[in-house]
Amino acid sequence: MQQIDDAKARRNVAVLVGAQALLGAQMPMIFTIGGLAGQSLASNACFATLPISLIVLGSMLAATPVSAIMQKYGRRAGFLLGAFAGALGGAVGAYGLYLSSFPIFLLGSLITGVYMSAHGFYRFAAADTASDAYRPKAISYVMAGGLAAAIIGPQLVKVTAQAMVIPFFGTYLAVIALNIVGSLLFFLLDIPKPKPPTADQPRGRSRWELITTPRIAVAVICAMVSYALMNLVMTSTPLAVVGCGYTAGDAADVVTSHVLAMYVPSFFTGHLIARFGVERIMAIGLAILAAAGAVALSGVELEHFFIALILLGVGWNFGFIGATTMLAGAHETYERGRMQGLNDLLVFGGVTMASLASGGLMNCSGGTAQEGWTAVNMAMAPFLMLAGGALIWLVLRPRQNTA
């Protein structure tokens, strides 16, 4: 039975890797140009990153209903809904660019957030049919599909950003095409719909009981911090690179290196977790995020941007995949819709705050791009201390109980 289960899991992982590669390409595309497009449309430079913030806000608001849809109708229904929202968000965003309307462009970003929410559940879907032994590898492999997205997305930006009279209009048309084509992959997905609970089945813990479970609480905190800090810095990066005298092409290359660093380690992150334990890998991830901030604060030469963003990507990979693995093993199947929706609500709530803060820190906390970039990276420190403290508490907790 174990072999049959993992055979199905491997097939589903292959489908999800393809979806991560194709549909996932729109995320580095939008994150590369969102701030630049916002800067061209907004009347106040402080609102330049608001389009990206609204994508993340939309993802936060959609997390619970999308998770509920998947719990009731299955993963395929939720993922198709996400692809539809991605195409619709791209269309509305393109229309906003056509009219030079910042509010319409923001509406498109908000709708795109529904796709981002559904995209976040790829990693959980990878674990649905996997054995305990294969689960961290399944999650890691699906995240590794982002490696192709890291190549496809920024290269499409280079080809499409100035391909039409209206800057970035072609990029949003490409986003529509990616969602339409990529949605076909989900018809190959073979994940059974969760069975409705009967009267004699356990209902599971409430949301409060789940989130106050120590292992779940620490997993959520580390996921929030890893993702929020990655978003905080990445959102400001194109603005910082261009503001420090480099080109939009240089910014795209820096983002490419960052997204590659986010996903290349996924080929072995699952193996590292299986060998050394999830807590150690999460701790290493937080330490690498701190190193990214230190490099960014040390200078604004192009190599500083490259090194800092590469470290940022690797740190996010270890921290976020580790947190996802810890969470996936800390709740029951019948608690899946409740817990995963709550997790992504909290994670993307933190990411929303980070992306909102990013534009203000970058454009409104100093007179120069370098001062803004310094403020962005200094803001990482207290949150890294929070996540690190929570992880240390979890590791020491059994020893304290034993004593």
- Residue found under tokens 């055979």: 7
Instruction: Give the pLDDT confidence score for residue 4 in this predicted structure.
Output: 46
Instruction: Give the pLDDT confidence score for residue 200 in this predicted structure.
Output: 63
Q: Identify the band that residue 344 occupies on the pLDDT scale cut at 50, 70 and 90.
A: confident
**Cα angle: 108, vertex 110, 111; to 5 degrees:** 65
Instruction: Give the pLDDT confidence score for residue 198 in this predicted structure.
Output: 64
Burial class (CB in 10 A: 0-12, 13-18, 19+), 8: middle
The torsion angles phi and psi of 295, rounded to 5 degrees, stand at: -65, -45
Instruction: Give the pLDDT confidence score for residue 197 in this predicted structure.
Output: 61
Instruction: Give the pLDDT confidence score for residue 2 in this predicted structure.
Output: 42
Q: Chain-wide mean pLDDT for the chain?
A: 86
Q: What's the token pair of residue 235?
A: 């959102």
Please tell me the class of the 2-188+205-402 domain: mainly alpha
What residue type is 218 in one-letter code? V
Other CB atoms within 10 A of residue 208 CB: 9
Percent of the chain surpassing pLDDT 70: 95
Residues 327-340 pLDDT 10s: 888 877 777 777 87
Give the three-state DSSP class for 299: coil
The torsion angles phi and psi of 16, rounded to 5 degrees, stand at: -70, -30
Q: What is the mean pLDDT of residues 104-129?
A: 90
- Whether 386 and 217 have beta carbons less than 8 Å apart is answered as no
Instruction: Give the pLDDT confidence score for residue 188 in this predicted structure.
Output: 92
Q: What is the mean pLDDT of residues 161-180?
A: 91
Give the range among 119-133, 174-188, 377-391 with minimum mean pLDDT. Answer: 119-133
Is pLDDT of 24 > 80? Answer: yes
Distance CA 129, CA 135 (A): 9
Instruction: Give the pLDDT confidence score for residue 32 in this predicted structure.
Output: 78
Q: Identify the band that residue 202 occupies on the pLDDT scale cut at 50, 70 and 90.
A: low
Instruction: Give the pLDDT confidence score for residue 402 in this predicted structure.
Output: 36
Find which of 52-56, 61-65, 114-118, 155-159 is predicted with most confidence, using mean pLDDT: 114-118
Give the range among 102-111, 133-142, 384-393 with minimum mean pLDDT. Answer: 133-142
- In order of 17, 73, 90, 310, the CA distances from 150 in angstroms are 13, 31, 19, 12
Give the three-state DSSP class for 151: helix
- In order of 154, 158, 258, 261, 264, the CA distances from 247 in angstroms are 14, 12, 17, 21, 26
Instruction: Give the pLDDT confidence score for residue 5 in this predicted structure.
Output: 55
Q: What's the token pair of residue 53?
A: 């913030």
Is pLDDT of 403 > 60? Answer: no
Cα four-point dihedral sign 211, 224, 152, 52: positive
- In order of 47, 58, 102, the CA distances from 54 in angstroms are 11, 6, 12
Q: What is the mean pLDDT of residues 73-97?
A: 94
Q: Identify the band that residue 199 occupies on the pLDDT scale cut at 50, 70 and 90.
A: low
Is pLDDT of 399 > 60? Answer: no
Q: What is the mean pLDDT of residues 219-247?
A: 90
Give the range among 104-118, 168-182, 389-403 with minimum mean pLDDT. Answer: 389-403
Instruction: Give the pLDDT confidence score for residue 196 in this predicted structure.
Output: 66
